[in-house]
Amino acid sequence: MFETLALNAPSWSDLRHFVPETVLVVTFLLALMADLFARGRRPAGPFALALGGCLVALAAAVSSLPAGPRSILGDLVVVDGLAGFFRVLFPLIGAITILFSWASGEIMGPRREHKGEFYALVALMAFGMCVMASAADLIMLYLSVELVSLTSYVMAGYMRTSLRSTEASLKYVIFGSVSSGVMLYGLSLLFGLTGETTFVEIRAALLAGRADNFALLVAMVFVLAGLGYKIAAVPFHFWCPDVYEGAPTPVTALFSVGPKAAGFALMIRFFYTTLLSPGGGQAAAGAAAPDGVIVGPADWPLLIAILSVVTMTYGNLVALRQTNVKRLLAYSSIAHVGYLLMGFLMLTAAGLEAILFYLLVYAIMNLGAFLFVIALNNRLGGEEISDYAGLSTRAPWVALMMMVFLLSLTGLPPTAGFIGKMYLFAEVINRHWFWLAVVGALNSVVSLFYYMKIAKAMYFTPGERAPLRLEPLHTAVLILLAAPTLALGVYWTPFKNFVDRAVAGFAGLGG
Amino acid sequence: MNAGLEHFLTVGALLFGLGVFAVLTRRNAVGLLMGVELILNAANLNFAAFARYVEHGIDGQVLAAFVIVLAAAEAAVALAIVLAMFRNFGTVHVDAVDRLRR
């Protein structure tokens, strides 16, 4: 309930509700220090510290569920169901990234010194993403976005002597700093229109009709530009394919799920809190949750629908032409942002449930697909589709697992991707946006073509026949990701319940 | 004549426009970053002006202070990347950097 979110001064005891984040910061500092003393080919100390830290943060996040809406640190941060959901997701993504970077030639190969920095940066990024998911104030919004951005610029350019990696980080830093600057200008306008900095008070000011409609529209579009860049929605996606292709593959894997999900978390919190007039009453999980009234300046659903259609269509059509798998997956990730935006349409509880469920599924299957690319890059030294020729005879199980990820990304049963898409489409149809559902379905058909291009190379194009053995660690993590991708397609109730609880406890819906 | 809110906002908007213009037209990486600085400072000016005329509090000024510090951090990271670019490509011209998409 919002009434219980009393304004309060920051105090040390607030940190009791900030344990996963605190653990991640400490992890970052310790791993950075440990790196100074790391000897040998691989920095075992920073690796173990960062992995352990992420797992401890994960455990702390799980044990603190369900997180009641609680405004802490001087109302800069709110810990609620939504934050609870994402602070489970982000340390998990961090841990998986750290695990498979350990055996990746791109991360552990070329540099001679300070290889452990990478693991420290992953922990720092996980921290920034957790804060993005719980920011409740313009200051925290901007700080957390910049924290994640600055970390990502460095990670994109991690292979310092590689031309491609340097180019990726240059493009990222230029596009990133411009769009966050534009967003900041939008935030300043929003601040001027309402005279407030916390999201809740901004909503109150908007409800009181204190803001001029046109100026508000400009401010919101600027903010949308900054957040749209973070999630790589068209037309703010230009950096995405180049950065994904040039960055080291483990970093690309992290980018494609981490900052994207964090951007969605922040978008959810910001727009649900500032634009949604509470429907009143308790939002029951799944059941008749009262839909709030959108107090936005423009035809919000239409704006989001157009953004969604343009994003998914562009992503899918351009992906058709790609031959580099990293680039192909970059465009596919743009298309997935389009699907996810469908859940945003009416700012409803059901839409939010669909988004969170899909984000969870997407994180698993996309990390899996990228891990496949990393594992094979280690052995084959490339990531063109043609490199995968004949893989079904060289490494049948690995090819099969990639098939599972590809089917799931397309959204075919019996995989998790199908269930995730089902919820998103159900929300769109329930709100009578039939044309959007049709466009989304057509897009899924288009995506089948390019995903199956990879499958065709693996299964039907003859290539080398010598068996291929992957790093055991890579195979293990691949199994760890393929299993839930299949299992969630058959039995997803526990995950659905987990998501429903998160939405029920979301302060933006009056949880 | 006293300077009012409109005057500050006009200067802010001009700075913002100049910053965007610089970003769009400059091909030198350092010049691009200077455009970004202009955009950030346009926002800062807005925050300070709104804090004085609309909010009558300090939240806006606090925000501006945070942004100043962050802009410094961002410049440090961005210049380090430009340095890496100069080492690898031998130039700071962004058009020369086009290894990807081949």
DSSP A290: P
- In this structure, the number of other CB atoms found within 10 A of the CB of residue A89 comes to 26
One digit per residue, the tens of pLDDT, for chain B of length 102 reads: 677 888 999 999 999 999 999 999 998 999 999 999 999 999 999 999 999 888 778 888 999 999 999 999 999 999 999 999 999 988 888 888 887 765
* Mean pLDDT across chain B: 90
Q: Which whole number is the average pLDDT over A81-102?
A: 92
The answer to whether residues A244 and A333 touch, using CB atoms and an 8 Å cutoff, is: yes
Nearest to A125 by CA among A17, A50, A228: A50
**Distance, in angstroms, between A156 CA and closest chain B CA?**
10
Contacts of A146 in chain B (CB under 8 A): 70, 73-74
**Structure confidence at residue A279 (pLDDT):** 54
For residue A349, what pLDDT is reported?
A: 86
Residue with tokens 């969630």: A488
Report yes or no on B10 lying in a domain: yes
Residues of B in contact with A185 (CB under 8 A): 16, 39, 42-43, 46
pLDDT reported for residue A3:
41
Q: Which of residues 305-334 of A touch B (CB under 8 A)?
A: 327
The whole-angstrom separation of Cα A329 and Cα A487 is: 23
pLDDT at A2: 43
φ, ψ at A278 (rounded to 5°): -60, 140
The pLDDT score that the predictor gives to residue A205 is: 86
- The answer, yes or no, to whether residue A284 has pLDDT greater than 50, is no
Integer angstrom CA distances of residue A10 from A15, A87, A139, A176:
10, 21, 15, 31
Domain ranges of chain A: 15-510
Residue A467: is its pLDDT beyond 50?
yes
Task: Name the residue of chain A whose CA is nearest to B44's CA.
Answer: A188
Q: Which of A166, A182, A331 to mutate to test the interface with B (most CBs of B within 10 A)?
A: A166
Cβ distance of A192 and B54 shorter than 8 Å: yes
For A160, the closest chain B residue by CA position comes to B84
Residue A85 to residue A98: CA distance in whole angstroms: 21
Model confidence, pTM? 0.91
Contact status, residue A163 vs residue B88, Cβ threshold 8 Å: yes
> Under an 8 A CB cutoff, do B94 and A174 touch?
yes
Rounded Cα gap, residues A219 and A221, in angstroms: 6
Whether A419 has its CB under 8 Å from any CB of chain B: the answer is no
Going by pLDDT thresholds of 50, 70 and 90, the confidence category of residue A281 is very low
Instruction: With a cut of 90, say whether residue A122 has pLDDT above it.
Output: yes
User: Cα torsion at A419, A420, A424, A425 (round to 10°)?
Assistant: -40
* pLDDT category of residue A470 using cuts at 50, 70 and 90: confident
> A207: pLDDT confidence band, cut at 50, 70 and 90?
confident
**Residue-level pLDDT at A319:** 92
Tell me the shortest Cα–Cα distance from A194 to chain B, in angstroms. Answer: 8
Is the model more confident about A293 or about A240?
Answer: A240
Helices in A8-160 by DSSP H: which ranges?
A: 19-36, 44-63, 81-101, 105-108, 117-134, 138-156
For chain A, percent of residues with pLDDT exceeding 90 = 51
Interface test with B, best of A140, A142, A147, A188 (most B CBs within 10 A): A188
Q: Determine the structural domain holding residue B66 and report its residue range.
A: 5-91
Q: What total number of domains does chain B contain?
A: 1
pLDDT value at A297 more than 70: no
CA distance A336 to A229: 14
Closest to B91 in 3D by CA, of A352, A163, A478: A163
Residue in the block written with tokens 């695990």: A99
Check CB contact under 8 Å for A170 and B82.
yes
Residue B28 lies in a domain: yes
- Tens-place pLDDT, residues A345-371: 878 888 899 999 999 999 999 999 999
* Amino acid A127: pLDDT: 95
- pLDDT value of position A291: 54
Question: Domain with B63 in it: what CATH number?
Answer: 1.10.287.3510
A246 neighbourhood in chain B, CB within 8 Å: 99-100
Is residue B102 one of the residues assigned to a domain?
no
In a domain, B96, yes or no: no
Say how far residue B73 (Cα) sits from the centre of its chain: 12
Confirm whether B99 is domain-assigned.
no
Which residues from B are below 8 Å from A10, CB to CB?
none
A241 and chain B in contact, CB less than 8 A: yes
Q: Which residue in chain B is spatially nearest to A243 when comparing CA positions?
A: B100
User: A316-325: per-residue pLDDT in tens?
Assistant: 999 999 999 9
